[in-house]
Structure 1
Amino acid sequence: MSVIIWITEGTWPACVDAAREHTAGREDLVLLHVTDDTVAEAAHGAFAGLLGRGHRERDPGTRLEGLSRAAVDDLFAEAERRLGRPARRLDLRGRAEQRVVRAAEGADLLVCARDGDHRHLGPRSLGPATRFVVDHAPCPILLVWPETAPGLGSLPPPPPAHPQP
């Protein structure tokens, strides 16, 4: 069985805990992280266009890429420690929702966390990327709350009943 654990900076502990709790130890575990390179690309472009002709060594985009790689390495290391058993690392770049759905092809389970409004139950508890993944994943999904789920009191009231004619 192949289990992909989508880790993001804000919700990874809940995903790792859920994978550890809901797998038996025989599964092939994959820690998946997706980096959006738009910030580094913008820094490269701004530097090249405005400041950096002939001075590649001062390109802030290169520094941002290095910091990003170091942060992802730290995230993987923390996730592996918390998981407590070996897992493969899959470090992808691009639009998260697209990359996660494609990475999930052939998987037996994808573990991901709600990343929207954590105060209420309902569809707004999913951010746009996670909503896309939930709607398009080609495998079963274990969707977890990154902290304790809100109570049923957060449900919206039912719609008003329409009188019968």
Structure 2
Amino acid sequence: MTVLVWIDEGTWRAAVDAARTHVRAGAAITLLHVTDDVAEAAHGAFVGLLGRGHAERDPGDQVAALSARAAAALLDAAAERLGRPAARLRAHGRTEREVVRAAEDAELLICARDGERRPGPRSLGPATRFVVDHASCPVLLVWPEEPPGIDTPPPHPPSH
């Protein structure tokens, strides 16, 4: 079995813990972290607003280096928490599309809810909703902390 675990800054511990609990020994696990295009945005802002000719002042390179170091540290922490061999994959681009693309060859994708901490459609952020709707493999979706009770009432509908 090949398992992809989506490592996101806010919810990675729950996703890794789910892999530790639910993925049998010997399965091939890949930890995935996606960095959005913030470095490209910084570079574009520099070129567009501050002019050309001073490449040494371009913040895009610094942002890219910081992002790479942060992603590597997060993947290291996830691998340590997992406690067993796992490949590490770093992708860049629109998070939801990169996760769906990486999951094409997986037999299972593990990710955590990243929205409101109560049951309902808003318990998924936009990227996670896209992934759940478009992944070509089964998705194990976990709460980032203790799940709310089944008696947790949904919010009241708006009154008109």
Seen in structure 2, the aligned counterparts of structure 1 residues 50 and 111 have a Cα distance that, compared at 3 Å, is same
Residue in structure 2 matched with residue 30 of structure 1 by the alignment: 30
What is the alpha-carbon distance in structure 2 between the residues aligned to residue 50 and residue 99 of structure 1?
29
User: Which residue type is aligned with residue 77 of structure 1?
Assistant: D
Partner residue in 1 for 2:79: 80
The TM-score normalised by the length of structure 1 is 0.90
Question: Which residue is equivalent to 1:130?
Answer: 128
1:9-68, CA deviations, whole angstroms, 9 ceiling, x for partnerless residues? 00000000000111121100000111111x222211121223242211111111001000
| 1:31–1:87 contact (8 Å) kept in structure 2 | yes
Query: Are the structure 2 counterparts of residues 134 and 54 from structure 1 closer, same or farther at C-alpha, using a change threshold of 3 Å?
Result: same
- How many residue pairs get aligned? The number is 157
Residue in 1 that maps onto 2:64: 65
- Report the aligned-residue RMSD: 1.7
Answer yes or no: is 1:48 the counterpart of 2:47.
yes
Task: Answer yes or no: is 1:3 the counterpart of 2:3.
Answer: yes
Q: Confirm or deny that 1:149 pairs with 2:147.
A: yes
Structure-2-length-normalised TM-score: 0.92
Q: In the alignment, residue 119 of structure 2 is paired with which amino acid? A: L
More divergent stretch after superposition (39-48 vs 11-20): 39-48
1:74-95 per-residue CA deviation (whole Å, 9 max, x = no partner) reads: 0010000000011111111111
Larger radius of gyration: 1
Cα distance in 2 for partners of 1:158, 1:9 equals 31
Q: Provide the residue aligned with 1:12 in structure 2.
A: 12
Q: Where does the alignment leave 5 or more consecutive residues of structure 2 unmatched?
A: none
Amino acid across the alignment from 2:16: V
SS in structure 2 at match of 1:10: coil
Name the aligned partner's letter for residue 29 of structure 2. L
What is the rounded CA distance, in whole Å, between the counterparts of 1:42 and 1:107 in structure 2? Answer: 31
User: What's the counterpart of residue 163 of structure 1?
Assistant: none
Using the TM superposition, name which of 97-106 and 13-22 deviates more: 97-106
